[in-house]
Chain A
Amino acid sequence: MTQPGKAEPLLRIRDATMEFGGGFLSSQPPLVALDSFSLDLHESPAQITTIAGESGSGKTTLANLVLGFISPTQGQILYKGVDLSRLDRKQRLTYRQEVQAIFQDPYDVFNPFFRIQHTFNLVMRHFALAQDKVERRELIEDALNVVGLRGDEILEKYPHQLSGGQRQRVMVARAYLLRPRLIVADEPVSAVDASLRAMILDIMLRLRDEHGISFLYITHDLSTAYQIGDNMIVLFQGITAEKGDTGQIIENPQHPYVQELINSIPVPDPKIKWDTDIRLPAEETMRTQNAEGAPRGCRFYQRCPHRMDICLESQPPLIPVEGQHAVACYLYES
């Protein structure tokens, strides 16, 4: 590994673009799932970086890129300064151990054929974490304690015998066991009941604060991101629409799309009803037009209440508005 100098970020994504389909045999243009995405994630202080977006925003593509399930069509993903595609054997093992994941569906992450124990044995064996059985059991017990579980309660059970909250906590414990530097949490609470959601989010906060683990928190739910996130990137159809401090974005959104998104979140108070009527007159044209060919200009043009002529010409670049806060919108071009 190159000099792990102080400025070297833990994870650096440089202009990563991911296209699906297309190719010379296909009559359709490729689908751009993620478009020139850049991100620097530093090891310390550990932070929770939210990647927010709705379906089709490219957030899951990003998770798959960071986890190494797919490689970007263009651009680079560097872990501790080394391109993921150039990791040697040893580096790859380190990367595998240090970048872990929690997935959305706490039912599907367990192989129904095996007891819970299997999940832990798998990582124990491949990363040679323990010398012997006793140490192995201690490490597992320790990891389970972090998420408030006990080994004798769950290890011998089959996945379906656990509640949804228990399953999701086991997955966090499994990730923690590897002492990762970064956990990609792909919608970790969207399939968990409301009253259990807080527990998972709380565990994420404690892993950040007490164990220095960074998170890439991938979600469509801005309100949970608001509760636990440090930084935030909002994606819209593969484009970075807005990035900055979570508080800044939620409390003072700049991009018209982000404003619309935040306004649409139902307020849990019957006294504050949705203010104005929202209309998506071009809802279906917006779809068909995107399928017809690679769109030019701003992706949000069709729905934007502030659209201008310049917006049709090219995708607006990220324009800084205040400190780290940047918006891809020509409204803020000085």
Chain B
Amino acid sequence: MAVGQRTPEDASAPAQGWGLNTWDSPWLNFKFLLGAGIVLLILLFGLVGPFFWDTDLAYTGAGPLNKPPVWAEGGLPEHPLGTESNGRDMLAQLILATPSSLKVGFLAAIIGMGIGMALGSVAGYVGGWWDHVIRTLSDSAVTIPALVVLVVIASYVQMTDTTAMALILALFAWPGPTRLVRSQVLTLRERSYVRMAHLSGASALEIMFVEMLPNMLPWLAASLTGGISAAILGATGLEVLGLGPTRVPSLGLIINQATTNAALVRGLVWWWLPPIIILMIIFVGFFLMTIGLDEIANPRIRQFSSTRRERTAAGELPPVEPIEDGTAGEEEAALEVDDLHVHYFTPRGEVIAANGVDFSVRKGEILGLVGESGCGKTTVAMAILQVVQPPGRIVQGAVRIEDRDLVSLSGRELRQVRWRDLALVPQGAMNSLNPVTPIREQMADAILAHENIGRVELEQRILNLLNDVGLPERVIDMFPHELSGGMKQRVCIAMSIALNPQVIIADEPTSALDVVVQRVVAQTLLEVKERLGVSMVMIGHDMGLQAQLVDRIAVMYAGNLVEVAPVESAFAGPLHPYTQLLIESIPSIRERKPLNVTEGLTHDLRDPPPGCIFQFRCKHVERICRERRPELVEREDDHLVACWLYEPERHALIELEEA
């Protein structure tokens, strides 16, 4: 076996996963870092403050009474934030109170987290009765109104210091982490790598701490920061009520003293407002950390926020280049895709997912769009429907239905085109049905969104559609969960033809279905095509299925179309080496043949090589293939291929270039 040429793939791609030491680390989240910075600053204020300010001033009688801050009238420079009714310096009080409030929060949250991790992992990993007991306890603990119980406990227990306070608060800090860890463990233990570690002889403890824990870190951290601010809030609440330790200065205690001394009525704003401001800054800091950590744990949240950015910043992006309408191509085309370029703008460079894809779907035909995972076939489908997800974007090209370029349509115009002219049967379509609505309503919604028809007509229309896809009439009153996967898939096909579209995009319409059901669904699609004369783009990777279903086949490799041909000639005489490879590697049920092993290294999609896109895997690679990209040219009747092998002049071409 050839141990692969080195390709750009090996050299590139810095660690994206959880590597903590790279610049790509997800921990470099702006909100998280900003929040951490704020918390750090507040902490520094409390820790460094005593070195710059005399904290003895925080005790009774240290200064004059009720002096306002230095900038107000009557303020004194030796008491920059003023003094209160006992002559205590506000700045010194705040310096002492801030770290003690933070300490209570940290301590309580960490104790709670520790208990939660122990209980949660036992419940999740051991399961059984342990799980029952722990889950019941933590669930019921969550329902207890924490502050009320805290008040009751705090009024009985004489709290001398912050540690005692933290311990009491920890009573309410454990259920959250317990539930979190339990659910994480339950999810992770089903992961293959955890089962693999089990097979590698790892003990339960090792699996818990080495395999699972690192993957929970972002969630745990988010829970911890959330827990800290909750604990600070609880502690402050008790202190304000006068139930906290009275000898230790704390932010809540300052507020408590301010209120008992009627500072509010007397207008001593500088007494009660500063602790509140500090608390607010602390909460904002922890809040930012928490949502930052949430984004780190669920990268999809970040994606959503970047979607919005992409939209508002749309003006800065280079405009889609209009293609002058040559009205070329065959007239019978139902859908034309013209020089389509789709790029994904990732932080580590532009991924070229579709590079000048150019094909048309003729009226009443099924065009198969095939290729392996990551070749860009689904991207092309999404681009046809104008639903490319950010950071992806159509940078060039046109998608035409009846001479209307969908790329240039507005959102509203597009909504009219979708379903009516262009429908989609999505990948795993059966999961796109709403589980709580009967089929009747889901189909009615789709129709009524575009057409205004009466109830009787609507009903009849739905029944006809179900009939079209070979489903019995009673399906109309059933819920998705009452249907098998194949039936749900056929409901989705029925919905896609509801408005008599001209083109249906079917994205792997039978993947994840059993073979027998797959055949039923595939035949349904064929029947629908025959009966309605609709055109289809059938996206897939199963060459056997393509052979059965499509009229013409378009083969994609790494974002480029390499061959477009009628299905018979594509299977009988594939021209492109990649198509040949695809067809040779179909396992046959008819004959036992030796396995055809090839090395499958591809290039980095961000950095396509000059020349042919398939050069790293091609057996016939020549010099010209490394230097110039072959174009898609008709070499046989209706059979297009992008390969230099079929260019007789290729040697002359390269020599000409040299000269």
Contacts and interface: CB of A to CB of B under 8 A. Distances in A.
Contact of A227 (B16, B201, B593, B597): B593
B193 A268 contact: no
B571 A55 contact: no
Interface in A250-280: 250, 260-262, 264-271, 273-274, 277-280
Given A103-B195, A148-B3, A199-B598, A126 B200 contact: yes
Contact of A101 (B19, B196, B593): B196
Nearest to A225: B587
A114 B590 CA distance: 43
Contacts of B144: none
B3 A264 contact: no
Interface string A102-140: 011100111111100001001100110000000000000
A48 interface: no
Interface string B156-196: 00000000000000000000000000000000000111111
B281 interface: no
B590 to A, nearest CB: 7
A226 B198 CA distance: 31
Nearest to B194: A111
Given A69-B198, A268-B571, A280 B486 contact: yes
Given A54-B515, A111-B193, A266-B548, A223 B571 contact: no
B368 to A, nearest CB: 10
B201 A54 contact: no
Contacts of B195: 67, 69, 101, 103
Interface stretch (A78-86, A159-167, A208-216, A316-324): A159-167
Nearest to B570: A270
Interface residues of B, number: 73
A193 B516 contact: no
Contacts of B273: none
A261 B515 contact: yes
A278 B77 CA distance: 93
B1 interface: yes
B487 A262 contact: no
Contacts of A247: 592
A55 B514 CA distance: 7
B585 interface: yes
Interface in B480-528: 482-484, 486-487, 514-520, 522-523
B447 to A, nearest CB: 24
A224 B567 contact: no
A220 interface: yes
Contacts of A111: 193-194, 197, 211, 214-215
A108 B592 contact: no
Contacts of A126: 200-202
Contacts of A105: 192
A127 to B, nearest CB: 6
Given A220-B515, A264-B515, A113 B587 contact: no
A180 B541 CA distance: 34
A264 to B, nearest CB: 4
B10 interface: yes
B16 A160 contact: yes
Contacts of A222: 515, 589
Interface stretch (A5-13, A35-43, A283-291): A283-291
B69 to A, nearest CB: 51
Contacts of A270: 547-548, 567-568, 571
A284 B592 contact: no
Given A153-B10, A196-B600, A202 B595 contact: yes
Contacts of B345: none
A267 B215 contact: no
A193 B541 contact: yes
A1 interface: no
Contacts, number: 202
Given A195-B582, A267-B590, A284-B483, A112 B17 contact: yes
B589 A262 contact: yes
Contacts of B475: 284
B33 interface: no
Nearest to B198: A69
Contact of A201 (B542, B588, B595): B595
Interface in A134-150: 148-150
Nearest to A111: B193
B193 A108 contact: yes
Interface string B578-602: 0001110111111011011111111
B646 interface: no
Nearest to B1: A148
B372 interface: yes
B3 A150 contact: yes
Nearest to A197: B585
A194 B518 contact: no
Residue among A110, A148, A267, A268 having the largest count of chain B Cβ atoms under 10 Å: A268
A198 interface: yes
B196 A112 contact: no
Contact of B514 (A153, A196, A220, A262): A220
B536 to A, nearest CB: 16
Contacts of A220: 514-515
A113 B214 contact: yes
A120 B600 CA distance: 24
A255 to B, nearest CB: 13
Residue among A171, A198, A201, A220 having the largest count of chain B Cβ atoms under 10 Å: A198
Nearest to B581: A195
B3 to A, nearest CB: 6
Residue among A224, A262, A279, A280 having the largest count of chain B Cβ atoms under 10 Å: A280
Contacts of A46: none
Given A69-B195, A226-B592, A227-B592, A221 B587 contact: yes
Nearest to B515: A264
B543 interface: yes
B193 A110 contact: yes
A173 to B, nearest CB: 13
Nearest to A54: B514
Contact of B587 (A55, A164, A197, A284): A197
B537 to A, nearest CB: 18
A273 B475 CA distance: 30
B199 A101 contact: yes
A100 interface: yes
A273 B523 CA distance: 11
B18 interface: yes
B373 interface: yes
A113 B586 CA distance: 35
B601 A163 contact: yes
A150 B600 CA distance: 15
Contacts of B516: 54, 260-261, 264, 278, 280
Contacts of B487: 283-284
Contact of B544 (A101, A148, A205, A266): A266
Nearest to A122: B200
Interface string B558-576: 0000000001100100000
B201 A93 contact: yes
15 contacts: A108-B192, A109-B193, A111-B194, A193-B372, A199-B1, A226-B592, A227-B593, A262-B589, A264-B519, A265-B544, A268-B583, A278-B519, A278-B523, A280-B517, A283-B520
Given A194-B372, A199-B600, 12 more contacts: A96-B199, A101-B199, A103-B195, A109-B192, A126-B202, A160-B17, A163-B9, A194-B586, A226-B587, A247-B592, A265-B544, A287-B484
Considering the complex of A and B, which 7 residue pairs feature the smallest CB-CB distances, nearest first?
A126-B201, A266-B544, A223-B587, A193-B372, A54-B514, A113-B214, A148-B1
